[in-house]
Structure 1
Amino acid sequence: MSRSSRPSLEDIFAEDDEFGLLDVKPRAARGGAVQDRSVTALLEVTNFYEHHSRLPDPDAMDHDEMRLGAIWETVKRAPTDQMRAVDRLGLISGEATPAPRSWQDDPIDTDIPDSLDDIFADDDLDVDASLVELKHTTPSAERHVPDHRAEFVPCHDFEQFRERFETVQRGLEAGERQASPVRKWSVIEPIEGDFFIRNGLLAMIAEKSEMTARGGSRDHRLRVIFSNGTESDPLMSSFRKSLNEDKTARMVQKVGLGPLDPEWESDRLELSGTIYVARSRSEIPAIKEQRMILHKIGVTSQDVARRVADARNDPTFLLAPVEIIATYSLQNLSRSKVENLLHRFFAAARPKELFVTDRFGKKVFPKEWFYVLPEHVGQAAKLIEEGTLHRHRYEVSTQRIVTKA
């Protein structure tokens, strides 16, 4: 293309501007730019006011609010007509009304109650009384509080255990027995005759009572004898917890190589004890009506009064206090064997429908209660002592102990 054939500027501007490239608007005056920024600031303040129901604070800790507040303090002093046109909330005149709050907005500090009393005292809060009434909870006066604690008391029959403690102590000193540490949170299932070291004292499990569901979980009451001549009767779960909390606690190794070794059971006790007959003082109608013929048969090696002290919290005792009607001493007879013999002998008189509901709503069926009279238990105890119980049976229909044909 020759130089003369190129279009001139006049030719270019004379052609149709199909894409609007030459349609350029002149820049606004400097005053107009200030006016646009003022309107923009007003719109930002309006948006802030709608979300927070207040104007931005120029002294706020938040940087963005502080900046917006400072700008607003400047532009509101000389409002323009354009600003007044877009001021739909009346921010310039100071007559603004708070915008309706949304559930998504942050609560105002004054709207946050300090306590439940403030909530329930609100006149606008019309709550049905049934919604705030506590149900299925035990009143504080009737809460699960033990009647006695497993405190240390003098062991009245410590002499029958003294030699056993001395034997175990000699075995530990000679290295014939080992004491292994109790691992943290280990599950320990002690049995009668087991030895432990707790708080520097040898502790022997002398008795493990019948299974109970006290506190909603299955448990046993223990009789623990200590080498200093004292004893305690904690729940097995409490004793286990005390071992876990004692960093010096130890489990004393048994004699023998294992369960098949005849010496493995040499620590097991064959304690004599006391047979007791207890009558429930429960106010449950189904139990109260049968109070005079329904009795608990138990055997314990510890003081009977201490054994039944916490009866009202123990499903084994029908969750009620009991009255001791009769006791019979055992002489040179295994406590556990006597208890099993008595329970089997009177098994036909065990009420199948007897149960109590614990505080968790769970039904518990105690197995130590029978429709027998105290004199029947005394007669059976005498037959055990004579070694002739197997020749007799309990006849439920006549409520008599009769000789087998």
Structure 2
Amino acid sequence: MKRLTLDDIFAEDDELGLLPDSASSMQHGQSTRRTGLDLLEQVSRFYEDHDRLPDAQAEDHDEMCLAAAWYRAAPAPSPAMKEADRLGLLARSTRPSSSLPDWRNDQAFMNAPQSLEDIFSDDDDLEMDTSIFSLRHSSPAAERAVPEHQANITPCANFQDYAALFEAVQQEISSGIRKAKRVRKNQILEPAEGDFFIRNGLIAYVAEKYEKTYRHGDREHRLRIVFSNGTESDPLMSSFRKSLTEDKTARFISRIGLGPLAGSETVTNATGTIYVARSLSEVPAIRNLRRRLHKIGVTSGDVRRRVADARNDPTFLMAPVEIVATHTLVNLSYRKVEDCLHRFFAPSRAILHVRDRMGKLIYPKEWFLLPVELVSQAADLIQKGTLHLYEYAPHQQTISRKNTSQ
């Protein structure tokens, strides 16, 4: 692209009259005369349209530029401009005095401090609205996503049932029958009922791997861990797994043969609880079914602790629950009892869905549309070992003995 020279620049029309008259005339006299006549014509048309001359302080940019050019050219018009001035605008065009206020007369400038002492002694502008320090649209961090149920370590009420197991495992480690293998960081562990671990210097026995729950949208097991010092805890399996991989002294105690040394069924008088819960959710679809909709679950711990965090658990429909019935089990596998009850009442299973705290859609399978009395009847039959002799009629909502004569 060709670069412009000074001659090219001065050859262009000075539409706004920015070039000095002498310089323009010296280089392009005819062009200057033509520009002055054009300017006069523009101002004349403006005067005819608005009945006034253009204002140099106008908000309109075009009017402001026209006025700037006019008041620059009007004091020294060319002969051609005087001859063409049909409205006599040159005679009444005097450069207006600046109407802009002088900043030195501004009140803020007049009150400006004159020294550092004036600045530090003036506290009139230091007052502020203290409401900006109050949180109005967010909850305190201590109240955010804090579960009501935490896997705390508590005394084991029936530790006498497990004491012999810990003694036997200790002897088998000493004799070499069992090996204590180091748990590597990031190792994938799948604790099973009857497994032994060493955590924080204590032997930890997985007494139960029972009721499933949800965490971050994924199906999760809860464990019952009994420790060799007479305490127990009920963490989620993922939490227990993490505690092992983060403990540099953690060890997995090898199994004997094809399976665990002892499952929960072999522990004398091991007890569990069947519980029936009613949802207190205010969701209309659930609230309308409140009298007939029940959750059937089994836990080996305190039922109140199991349901304490119901409002954060999709298994409980993300809402508090009311326990309407409980039934104690003796010498039975908790996991098998729960599966048995769910299969027995499967024709009355409620099709529900709820979104967890991560927004994932969950379909809990532990809720049934039936009277609570039927669960109590089935629990008694399970304890007697005779549930297999009965059948459930969902339409009649009854449990009756099977007809074996056919």
TM over 0.5: yes
Report if aligned partners of 1:214, 1:313 keep a CA contact under 8 Å in 2.
no
What one-letter code is carried by the residue in structure 2 that aligns with 1:366?
A: P
Alignment partner, residue 239 of structure 1: 240
Alignment partner, residue 226 of structure 2: 225
- Taking a change above 3 Å as real, the CA distance of residues 266 and 188 of structure 1, as seen in their structure-2 partners, is same
- State how far apart, in whole Å, the 1-side matches of 2:154 and 2:340 are: 31
Normalised by the length of structure 2, the TM-score is 0.61
What one-letter code is carried by the residue in structure 1 that aligns with 2:165?
A: R
| Alignment equivalent of 1:366, drawn from 364, 367, 374 | 364
By how many angstroms is 1:268 displaced?
2.4
Range with greater deviation from structure 2 (216-225 or 170-179): 216-225
By how many angstroms is 1:152 displaced?
0.8
1:332 paired with 2:317, answer: no
- Taking a change above 3 Å as real, the CA distance of residues 363 and 174 of structure 1, as seen in their structure-2 partners, is same
By how many angstroms is 1:164 displaced?
1.3
- How big is each residue's C-alpha offset from its partner over 1:59-82, in whole Å with a ceiling of 9 and x where there is no partner? xxxxxxxxxxxxxxxxxxxxxxxx
By how many angstroms is 1:219 displaced?
1.9
- How big is each residue's C-alpha offset from its partner over 1:23-81, in whole Å with a ceiling of 9 and x where there is no partner? xxxxxxxxxxxxxxxxxxxxxxxxxxxxxxxxxxxxxxxxxxxxxxxxxxxxxxxxxxx
What does 1:298-309 correspond to in 2, within 5 Å?
298-309=297-308
What one-letter code is carried by the residue in structure 2 that aligns with 1:281?
A: L
- What secondary structure does 1:320 align onto? coil
- Taking a change above 3 Å as real, the CA distance of residues 282 and 142 of structure 1, as seen in their structure-2 partners, is farther
Alignment partner, residue 210 of structure 2: 209
1:194 paired with 2:195, answer: yes
- State how far apart, in whole Å, the 1-side matches of 2:299 and 2:194 are: 15
- State how far apart, in whole Å, the 2-side matches of 1:141 and 1:322 are: 23
Alignment partner, residue 170 of structure 1: 171
Report if aligned partners of 2:295, 2:367 keep a CA contact under 8 Å in 1.
yes
Report if aligned partners of 2:211, 2:299 keep a CA contact under 8 Å in 1.
no
By how many angstroms is 1:212 displaced?
2.4
- What secondary structure does 1:210 align onto? strand
- What secondary structure does 2:263 align onto? coil
Two-structure CA RMSD over aligned residues (Å): 2.1
What one-letter code is carried by the residue in structure 2 that aligns with 1:338?
A: V
- State how far apart, in whole Å, the 2-side matches of 1:339 and 1:345 are: 10
- How big is each residue's C-alpha offset from its partner over 1:196-221, in whole Å with a ceiling of 9 and x where there is no partner? 00000010111223332222333222
What one-letter code is carried by the residue in structure 1 that aligns with 2:306?
A: R
- State how far apart, in whole Å, the 1-side matches of 2:382 and 2:221 are: 26
Alignment partner, residue 385 of structure 2: 387
Alignment partner, residue 153 of structure 1: 154
- State how far apart, in whole Å, the 1-side matches of 2:221 and 2:333 are: 19
- How big is each residue's C-alpha offset from its partner over 1:98-153, in whole Å with a ceiling of 9 and x where there is no partner? xxxxxxxxxxxxxxxxxxxxxxxxxxxxxxxxxxxx9xx99968732210321111
What one-letter code is carried by the residue in structure 1 that aligns with 2:382?
A: I
What one-letter code is carried by the residue in structure 2 that aligns with 1:343?
A: H
Range with greater deviation from structure 2 (191-200 or 297-306): 297-306
What one-letter code is carried by the residue in structure 1 that aligns with 2:365?
A: K
What does 1:275-290 correspond to in 2, within 5 Å?
275-290=274-289
- State how far apart, in whole Å, the 2-side matches of 1:182 and 1:265 are: 18
Matched residues, percent identical? 59
Alignment partner, residue 269 of structure 1: 264
- Taking a change above 3 Å as real, the CA distance of residues 142 and 359 of structure 1, as seen in their structure-2 partners, is farther
- State how far apart, in whole Å, the 2-side matches of 1:278 and 1:403 are: 26
What one-letter code is carried by the residue in structure 2 that aligns with 1:290?
A: L
- State how far apart, in whole Å, the 1-side matches of 2:349 and 2:328 are: 23
- How big is each residue's C-alpha offset from its partner over 1:206-260, in whole Å with a ceiling of 9 and x where there is no partner? 122333222233322211111111111111111111111110000010011xxxx
By how many angstroms is 1:404 displaced?
2.4
Report if aligned partners of 2:208, 2:225 keep a CA contact under 8 Å in 1.
yes
Normalised by the length of structure 1, the TM-score is 0.62
What one-letter code is carried by the residue in structure 2 that aligns with 1:184?
A: K
- State how far apart, in whole Å, the 1-side matches of 2:345 and 2:139 are: 36
- State how far apart, in whole Å, the 2-side matches of 1:303 and 1:345 are: 25
- State how far apart, in whole Å, the 1-side matches of 2:310 and 2:175 are: 44
Report if aligned partners of 2:294, 2:370 keep a CA contact under 8 Å in 1.
yes
Report if aligned partners of 1:276, 1:298 keep a CA contact under 8 Å in 2.
yes
Report if aligned partners of 1:277, 1:296 keep a CA contact under 8 Å in 2.
yes
By how many angstroms is 1:394 displaced?
1.6
Structure 2 residues not aligned, in runs of 5+: 1-136
- State how far apart, in whole Å, the 1-side matches of 2:335 and 2:178 are: 27
- State how far apart, in whole Å, the 2-side matches of 1:248 and 1:157 are: 28
**Equivalenced residues, count:** 264
What one-letter code is carried by the residue in structure 2 that aligns with 1:216?
A: G
Report if aligned partners of 1:294, 1:371 keep a CA contact under 8 Å in 2.
yes
- State how far apart, in whole Å, the 2-side matches of 1:214 and 1:286 are: 24
- Taking a change above 3 Å as real, the CA distance of residues 203 and 384 of structure 1, as seen in their structure-2 partners, is same
Alignment partner, residue 64 of structure 2: none
Structure 1 residues not aligned, in runs of 5+: 1-133
What one-letter code is carried by the residue in structure 2 that aligns with 1:196?
A: F
- State how far apart, in whole Å, the 2-side matches of 1:321 and 1:160 are: 34
- What secondary structure does 1:211 align onto? strand
